[in-house]
A and B are shown apart, each in its own frame.
Chain A
Amino acid sequence: MSDNDKLVKVSDSYKTWEEKTQKQLAKAPESKPRFETLSGLPIKTLYAPPDTTDIDYLENVGFPGEYPYTRGVQNTMFRGRFWTMRQYAGFGSAEDTNKRFRYLLEQGQTGLSVAFDLPTQIGYDSDAPIATGEVGKVGVAIDTVHDLKILFNEIPLDQVSTSMTINSPASILTAMYLALADKGGIPFTELRGTIQNDILKEYIARGTYIFPIRPAMRIVSDILGFCAKNMPQWNSISISGYHMREAGSTAVQEVAFTLADGIAYVEAAINAGLEVDDFAPRLSFFFSAHQDFFEEVAKYRAARKLWAKIMKEKFKAKNPRSWMLRYHVQTAGCSLTAQQPLLNILRTGFEALSAVLGGCQSLHTNSYDEALALPSEMAVQIALRTQQLIAYETGVTETVDPLAGSYYVESLTDAIATQAQDYLNKIEEMGGMIPAIEAGYVQGEISNSAYEYQKKVEAKDRVVVGVNQFVVEEPPLEGLLKVEMTVGEIQAKKLKVLRSERGNQAVGRALDAVKKGAESKENLMPLIVNAVKAEATIGEICNVLRDVFGEYTGTTSF
């Protein structure tokens, strides 16, 4: 029998099977009229060879470590080295967080991830009136390079990789990290890490913006340029879909809007005079791992395929490293429940498994108490162990991209890529992501998805175990982490002492230079490094930039 004859035979048999199944439905219907992924993509009863005959293996799937990287960015993936186990952590004072960092490293995590409090993220000192009540609550309070020194106490910067979730003041935290490295005699070329530095998603879904969009993009390109020149092992941006997903987007939107942001950053950097291959290899990404298991695996594969194509064909990058989408994953916070919280251990476990099967480079697993508070020590230990269990006990890491070839997974990968591309085309027609954000288009799409999901839950079309089904009476969870108001009071005292003891004239001069730099086209990074070395505070530096750039006013639409 020829190959084509075989194909036809399978196709015919499949049709026969589908007809038989249809007949059965008359007597024994399926449990619901429509099956769909969490994102609304239709799911058939069965997937078989005819569903993937149009997917060309070499062109669409390919091999790991080779364009278009659908199967992964390295040839041997986890057989060479596991993903980095990198738990996002931070609360209270630098001392408190340093303790948690060292605990996590002792327990086997392989990379650091810093959570900063909201005043720090929004460029306010801990003693600013607007910071009252917020200091240390959602992350560590960092006002100056002295705080950062305490944060990394006994942690050698040349032996760990550090990811910092910082956006609007990413330049300042990077500068502080560099100042610390300098003091420790560590060359910048040896520093490994990442700054999130993804300002566009702040306007879309996360809210820690400071300046209006265009000046903020200028700061991002300054950072990309500076890091490309001085920090070859540093990921100068982590283009994020996680937060948009948390805000309620679908998986398709998560991919589309993230890559659209990526396109905007590449364009901005090129317009600032950078060569694409000089900075693109150090772009990185950050996605969620949500609950629809196969959809998530397909999502990562689709994202890699699309980005590779964008970098090669749209931006004409020549270096294969510029085509590779490397990404961190966090399991979906919005999937966690306050009710029956121990179930969150399993939710996180399933989500983490999809991230690993999707081929992530780095992973954070949520703790079971995180619907209610920042992770307690015991809870975060379990979260870390979840990753270690997957790595060491499940066997899923022993071969690369094991779900490839699944008729369902390949169909889903293709569907997500196609639908995401539709969004990318639409955004391009709007003039790119910046106009799309200014028009409120992206935010509206996400809001719509969030509302649709909520309606499904309230109609019980989506079951949330323990919340709208299988509900129990239970006492409140004990042992939750609590951050006291004293953290703010102590930081305020430290700032008072600092301001009286440092060389204020040098600070003034350094801040003036930042101001002049902001008013010109000078790269701000070296100027900010000087300012942090002169012991300027994060608030002081940001206030100078606020004076020059103004502040972004959020929208009131829903």
Chain B
Amino acid sequence: MGEGKTIRVLLAKPGLDGHDRGAKVIARALRDAGMEVIYTGLRQTPEQIVSAAEQEDVDVLMLSILSGAHNYLFPRIMEGLEKKGMTDILVMGGGIIPKEDIAGLKKAGVKEVFGPGTETKAIIKYVQDNLNQ
């Protein structure tokens, strides 16, 4: 990613979970921080998320889930990204994800998982610190 180029973020809600307060708040904060944000809306299948990430040519993919279905859905999304050769994307997770599940998600390729209470400024900093690698 070149200097001065706007960071593009896809914020996705995988699965049937309808809780989008956190995702929307983060989307606004990222936009206020100068990033270009696309929000998928609810009820995205792994295939739809991978397709959107490709179409929108994003630098970052943020997955928000509170329904407990992350262990099934996140690895499928990561597989989909890998199949398309999109291994450069920074993938982050958030929502309600038990600490004991995080190692498994990281093994699948999710770079970091952010739990309840995380401040938007921490997420912005994480993106800025971790993109230029």
Q: Tell me the A residues contacting B by CB distance below 8 Å.
A: 118-119, 121-122, 124, 130-134, 137-138, 202, 206-208, 246-248, 334, 337-339, 371-373, 447, 450-451, 454, 457-458, 464, 467-468, 476, 480, 482-483, 485, 553-558
The winner among A458, A553, A555, A556 for most chain B CB atoms within 10 A is A556
Q: Is the CB of A338 within 8 A of B115?
A: yes
Q: Is the CB of B24 within 8 A of A208?
A: no
| Complex Cα gap A192–B45 (Å) | 39
> Number of residues in B with C-beta < 8 Å to the partner?
38
Is B28 engaged at the interface, CB distance under 8 Å to the other chain? yes
Q: Is the CB of A450 within 8 A of B69?
A: no
What would 10 more interface pairs be, CB under 8 Å, given A137-B68, A138-B68, A207-B20?
A118-B15, A119-B16, A207-B42, A447-B24, A447-B25, A454-B25, A467-B117, A468-B119, A554-B41, A556-B40
The winner among B18, B28, B42 for most chain A CB atoms within 10 A is B18
Q: Is the CB of B72 within 8 A of A133?
A: yes
Q: Is the CB of B117 within 8 A of A339?
A: yes
| Given A556-B38, A558-B24, residue A372 in contact with residue B16 (CB < 8 A) | no
Is B51 engaged at the interface, CB distance under 8 Å to the other chain? no
Chain B 35-73: CB-based contact to A (< 8 A → 1; otherwise 0): 001111111010000000000000000000001110111
Is B23 engaged at the interface, CB distance under 8 Å to the other chain? yes
| Given A118-B67, A119-B16, residue A558 in contact with residue B23 (CB < 8 A) | yes
| Complex Cα gap A557–B11 (Å) | 11
Q: Tell me the B residues contacting A by CB distance below 8 Å.
A: 11, 15-21, 23-25, 27-29, 37-43, 45, 67-69, 71-73, 96, 98-100, 115-117, 119-121
| Given A134-B67, A554-B42, A558-B27, residue A247 in contact with residue B117 (CB < 8 A) | no
What 5 pairs between A and B have smallest CB-CB spacing?
Answer: A207-B18, A133-B72, A118-B16, A137-B68, A133-B69
| Interchain Cβ contacts under 8 Å between A and B, 25 examples | A118-B15, A118-B17, A119-B16, A122-B16, A130-B16, A133-B15, A133-B69, A133-B73, A134-B67, A137-B68, A202-B18, A207-B20, A208-B16, A247-B21, A338-B117, A339-B117, A373-B98, A451-B29, A454-B25, A476-B98, A485-B72, A554-B43, A556-B40, A558-B23, A558-B28
